[in-house]
Structure 1
């Protein structure tokens, strides 16, 4: 027995099909790791990853502008699928780097973690931090060309999937010859400097439908021009039949950016708060022997904030670190929020708008109607990941909070003479928002199903169902006449009914207080039982689905639009979760005079087109029907059996799910169709009038 065990233990590892030894390990060298796992560096290989590659090159140009050496950036989207970025900065170094023996261009384009932004000498504040941006783009490009104007010469170099060399002709599919070093292709004035990078994305890496949208590039370049006053950025798209070009330059900085972002009427002028702070950071630094040594480094952090309150209710907060957008914010925005709430509470109590014993206002109250741009600049910020979406430098919280507290306090206590009334209006708006929130919270708490059943607080006109699980459905029905039929047609086990009278309040143009005063709006919010606005809690909703059941005419469509405006504005999570539907009642009923065995006597059609097809089909098959074909003008014309079969019975009905795929586009269309601005809506109606089928109008 012992001998058998010994022999088994000494068997070679490769004889074991489940063995795992050092020969199974792989080592990816240099840019090979990038091509093997591109998602680690650019997030994905779809359009988001492709545009991230473009941003990496653009950010290098912006860093030159931040350092004071670049005044103009050009971005070209070529018709052949390549992308080109150029600047008039100092140009990437073309001399030989002593340790590697490579030209500077080849070094930064082929070696990960190589660049001029680690020591803090060439750049005091930059967006490129990890030394992988340009080299990653190079590794993921079928071809990348670099041209550098320096020392009176134009130096050029090309790469194929990260390998240096030379192409026989333009385009990524041309014959390629590996070679190191740069070549001089032209003479230029000695005072002319700059860099141009053009790359062709590698279709072996990126998805076939990956593309860079012109609108996204325009928005990003406009944003960058706001953040770097005086920098001129041109964008040219040559992919369409008629090329488009736009140039951005803004001298007002983030004050002008804040005014651009704000869409509502101002309560106060833009407040600009600037300051700086110092902190000590321990970082590993290379010594003369090439060893990493922990060293205490003194850092400067510059803070520049612009804020402005408006009459609306939405919040827009953009944050940036060295011109790099941080869409998921980070420590700098945490400091901004903390200072904003603390300072506003102090001012509310100082002006007696908050009395002793009153609850302090919360962050959501202060942010209501606020448009803010928060920017910080510092050497070597700590980001969470290569995509740089979240700032992690902990000292930023303290410094931003100190600067914002001091600047905001000064604006409230010592405003300019013309701004004194504005600052008072800001405080009153925030105090009003807090009162509305407290009232809504109280209402929400009282509307929960348990409390509602205990105190009979639900509206008397609600026809409730028996179940409380996810199957439950709330039909919001237009009119009392349809309610009577729907009562008989519903399944009382899981289908509840709430009638409304005609057209409810247009909440897009009304305040929260007016909405809560409106009987129909308050009843809908009360019945759903999950609150409204910022306090909406989808887990507390009393029904699994909300189904809007209105007549199949113009008035019914308007009522659905008003109801959707209410749900979008105050119960948006229901839309985002796909729990809001529109019932689809039939338009016509065909009564067959000689139905065959197994054939239904009544056939329902939901559109005019479907009716015409059915009648043609019946005529071809010799099926006769009673003339005239019945057209339903409203739900009240159906009897209970018909309504159940066509609109309410889950086994036969058709529902249209209402979703919010793009929140920004949805907000724009709701504001256009239901907002207080009449002129844009009139233009929209006039422009679309020719497309309307006049026969659909009930006159």
Structure 2
């Protein structure tokens, strides 16, 4: 991760190989209890299958290797996810006699070694591809790597062909086509709107990553690419310029010294809504908040009160402005990427890492205070807005 927003330095393509795969347990556990891995077997779980494959591709972007992800809802009911990352490893591991790509798709595994380039990961702790394969009636993987195109086919998580080396290829990347198992899922028809909303969200959270979605039922392509990242996300959430208390949105980012916490914030006050917080940890929406959101809210309230008193908007005898008043009309997006995320519950919707709270408080205090000091007119408008809502 760097101050410019690139979460990590690119790892060499050869550093991601079979030695990074560690076995936990087999596919039958997934098929017996799918809800433990994707939340449910309803429409929510169905779409989670897509997001898990996309998460692998996003991890390749975070590692500095992929800048494009193409998602297609196929006419025959499947989904294809393709990226231009390094490509899944194809070499045969000596201890098992299996290609690394087969292990990734058939064994509950994870990538704990930082040399893979995955300093952060947005999937089910690296288990996503195996879970999707186990819950699919059919899956085909196509890898462009090591100078060739490689393919392999699966049924219900079991390989039915060997990994095959095909024609020469000069590119790199992975494409996975899968069909949800009707014996597992209550519904197998994908919603374009549901997929589109999440893919657009991911494009906001990963500035510079281009994500496309095509529906072949009939064809309906969209493409998301936001170089402004979270500022563009706030603009999307705040669509009415006349209501802005200030413009543009305030945005900043920072990374700690040992590159284990990377935080991005964009925020803007408006008069048309009560506001709202959108917080994320490793690109997963944390609907229940957590330590990263707690740190932001605490620092924000303290900074607004400190600034209001320094600029004599509040006297020494005035009561402090409440957190509720400070947040009235505020639209904010907080995205944190941590090397070892700790979530409460299987749904991964509340972050528990204590270091996220402390680090974000410091980042917000430094960057927001600097912004207020360097934008006195906008700062005065924000304080007036907050004080008016508190009366």
Structure 1 residues 262-295: Cα deviation after superposition (integer angstroms, max 9, x where no partner): 13421112111222225xxxxxxxxxxxxxxxxx
Pair 1:121 & 2:115 matched: yes
Contact 1:74-1:86 within 8 A present in 2 as well = yes
Larger radius of gyration: 1
What are the within-5 Å matches in structure 2 for residues 278-317 of structure 1?
A: 278=257, 300-317=260-277
Instruction: Give the CA deviation at 1:427.
Output: 0.5
Instruction: Give the CA deviation at 1:132.
Output: 1.8
Contact 1:120-1:380 within 8 A present in 2 as well = no
Structure 1 residues 131-154: Cα deviation after superposition (integer angstroms, max 9, x where no partner): 321111111111111110112211
Q: Is the partner of 1:184 in helix, strand or coil?
A: strand
Name the CA distance, whole Å, in 2 between partners of 1:363 and 1:100.
Answer: 57
Question: Which residue is equivalent to 1:472?
Answer: none
What are the within-5 Å matches in structure 2 for residues 230-245 of structure 1?
A: 230-240=208-218, 243-245=219-221
Question: Which residue is equivalent to 2:165?
Answer: 184
Q: 1:57 aligns with which of 36, 53, 59?
A: 53
Structure 1 residues 382-417: Cα deviation after superposition (integer angstroms, max 9, x where no partner): 2234543222211100000110011111122232xx
Structure 1: segments with no counterpart, 5+ residues: 1-27, 167-180, 279-297, 436-699
Name the CA distance, whole Å, in 2 between partners of 1:272 and 1:29.
Answer: 43
What are the within-5 Å matches in structure 2 for residues 250-399 of structure 1?
A: 250-264=226-240, 265-269=243-247, 270-278=249-257, 300-399=260-359
Structure 1 residues 623-682: Cα deviation after superposition (integer angstroms, max 9, x where no partner): xxxxxxxxxxxxxxxxxxxxxxxxxxxxxxxxxxxxxxxxxxxxxxxxxxxxxxxxxxxx
Q: Is the partner of 1:421 in helix, strand or coil?
A: helix
Question: Which residue is equivalent to 1:528?
Answer: none
Instruction: Give the CA deviation at 1:129.
Output: 5.5
Question: Which residue is equivalent to 2:181?
Answer: 202
Q: Is the partner of 2:115 in helix, strand or coil?
A: coil
Instruction: Give the CA deviation at 1:201.
Output: 0.4
Q: 2:70 aligns with which of 64, 67, 74?
A: 74
Question: Which residue is equivalent to 1:154?
Answer: 149
Contact 2:37-2:124 within 8 A present in 1 as well = no
Name the CA distance, whole Å, in 1 between partners of 2:150 and 2:134.
Answer: 21
Name the CA distance, whole Å, in 1 between partners of 2:95 and 2:309.
Answer: 63
What are the within-5 Å matches in structure 2 for residues 539-578 of structure 1?
A: none
Question: Which residue is equivalent to 2:106?
Answer: 110
Q: Which region of structure 1 is more displaced relative to structure 2, 374-383 or 150-159? A: 374-383
Q: Which region of structure 1 is more displaced relative to structure 2, 134-143 or 358-367? A: 358-367
Q: Which region of structure 1 is more displaced relative to structure 2, 28-37 or 142-151? A: 28-37
Question: Which residue is equivalent to 1:46?
Answer: 42
Contact 1:276-1:399 within 8 A present in 2 as well = no
Structure 1 residues 61-106: Cα deviation after superposition (integer angstroms, max 9, x where no partner): 0111111111211000012111110001100000022333321111
Q: Is the partner of 1:102 in helix, strand or coil?
A: coil
Name the CA distance, whole Å, in 1 between partners of 2:25 and 2:311.
Answer: 65
- Larger RCO (CA under 8 A, 6+ residues apart): 2
Contact 1:236-1:246 within 8 A present in 2 as well = yes
| Cα-Cα RMSD | 1.8
Question: Which residue is equivalent to 2:160?
Answer: 165
Structure 1 residues 480-524: Cα deviation after superposition (integer angstroms, max 9, x where no partner): xxxxxxxxxxxxxxxxxxxxxxxxxxxxxxxxxxxxxxxxxxxxx
Contact 1:261-1:316 within 8 A present in 2 as well = no
* TM-score, length basis structure 1: 0.50
Instruction: Give the CA deviation at 1:107.
Output: 0.6
Question: Which residue is equivalent to 1:13?
Answer: none
Name the CA distance, whole Å, in 2 between partners of 1:131 and 1:226.
Answer: 22
Q: Is the partner of 2:305 in helix, strand or coil?
A: helix
Question: Which residue is equivalent to 1:139?
Answer: 134
Q: How many residues align?
A: 364
Question: Which residue is equivalent to 2:379?
Answer: 423
Instruction: Give the CA deviation at 1:229.
Output: 2.1
Contact 1:130-1:386 within 8 A present in 2 as well = no
Contact 1:70-1:87 within 8 A present in 2 as well = yes
Question: Which residue is equivalent to 2:20?
Answer: none
* TM-score, length basis structure 2: 0.88
Name the CA distance, whole Å, in 1 between partners of 2:316 and 2:94.
Answer: 69
Q: Is the partner of 1:316 in helix, strand or coil?
A: strand
